[in-house]
Amino acid sequence: MVSRLARWLGSARLDLAEEAVQDALVRALSTWPFTGVPAEPRGWLFQVARNRAVDLLRRDASLRNKLDNIRAQSESVPVSEPARALGDDELAMMFMCCHPALAAPARVAITLKMVGGFSVEEIAAAFLAEPEAIAQRLVRAKRQIREQAISIEIPPEGEIGARLDSVLDVLYLLFNEGYSAHGGPNLTRAELCGEAIRLGEILGGNPATDLPAVHALLALMLLQASRLPARVDESGDLLLLAEQDRRAWDRALIVRGLAHLERAASGDRITAYHVEAAIAATHAVADGEASTDWAAIVRHYEDLLELKPSPVVELNRAIALAKAEGPAAGIEALERIEADAALARYYLLPAALGRLWLEAGDAERAARYYREALTRPTSAPERRFLERQLAHCRRPATA
């Protein structure tokens, strides 16, 4: 709805489009419990949002002469519009937000806000940044879009490549927030994973963006999403990979993911998404942790470091190295990045060290790292997991 309204109102009025849609949702929450859900809730919401946008525009004298044209355009669209047309609006919005005139971090942040519906806090968690810095980044991005009159449209074929990487980055972060929510009562938010996959399929289904990198990212997301049913127990608590019931993994998603990985192999460019999808595929085809080819996963992470150097990739490589060669090798690798400022708010670094020191037999040192992990931002299930691990460190050795 935001994407459709913004295309009519123009990119200079992104805030107005958001406000109109928010008002429509608030009205639905206040009236539907008493009147019932309309037969076509999407159409009801959109009509209310459109009318609200028109009301807001009436307050701006400079736009009154455009109201009739905007109203005529919006009313000409059937309520039950084909999904492809609706997808084109979102695709156009994604490419507008990822215009090369914007700095790369701003492109990702504004797209997460406008297309993914992320809050400032969720975007900050995805960036491992402070919310105030993200809020300022969003204000600057919207101002730049307005001042440069960047239009909401799917770019010509020759310009798509310049913006596609940013679009894929956005979908990657959107999926990751759903796969491991940085806050709130739940470890996972399946609706965000589903939204990232849906937007990826819009890209893959459009002839202009039916490209190997798109299919590599789709493969990665589908293979990772296959594990969602097994990532938590009946109480919603986190289960480590070794504890998961692999029979609960969604085999249909694995098949789809492997099919997209095969399509991704058609090009001559290897992206980070190709390598991460290969890691996910290695897990997906293994019968269990013991039969997983951890040496291959370590090699994949080394390839990934060549393509996308990152302390988070270093962390994941260290964990895989510990599986392949033992906890001492993993601890040594993690200690090399322990002081990295980019990981200062990332609870997984001390949690991983706690796990490996516990495996190495030093419960006291493990407890110290788990206490450090508990001082960093986590979701409620992650916090409960860390508390259980800390309690395990305090148990007598004979327990």
**Whole-number pLDDT of residue 82:** 42
CA diameter of the chain = 81
The residue whose two tokens read 């290897």 is: 270
Residues 261 and 285: their CA atoms lie apart, in Å, by: 13
**Whole-number pLDDT of residue 128:** 66
The residue whose two tokens read 């009147």 is: 35
**Whole-number pLDDT of residue 63:** 57
**Whole-number pLDDT of residue 67:** 60
* Contact (CB, 8 A) for 171 and 214: no
Q: Cβ contacts of residue 162 below 8 Å, gap of 6+?
A: 100
What single-letter DSSP state applies at residue 39?
Answer: S
- The DSSP line for 172-228 is HHHHHHHHS-SSSS-S--HHHHHHHHHHHHHHHHSGGG--HHHHHHHHHHHHHHTTG
The pLDDT profile of the chain, 399 residues, written as one tens digit per residue, is 888 888 878 888 888 888 899 999 999 999 999 999 999 998 899 889 888 888 888 776 555 565 665 555 555 545 445 444 456 888 899 899 988 888 888 888 898 888 888 888 888 876 667 899 999 999 999 999 999 999 898 888 788 877 898 899 889 988 988 887 666 666 677 888 888 998 899 899 888 889 999 999 999 999 999 999 999 888 888 888 989 999 999 999 999 999 999 999 988 889 999 999 999 999 999 999 999 999 999 999 999 999 999 999 999 999 999 999 999 999 999 999 999 999 999 999 999 999 999 999 999 999 999 999 999 988 888 899 999 999 999 875 543
**Whole-number pLDDT of residue 83:** 43
The ranges assigned to domains in the chain are: 1-81
Residues 87 and 206: their CA atoms lie apart, in Å, by: 10
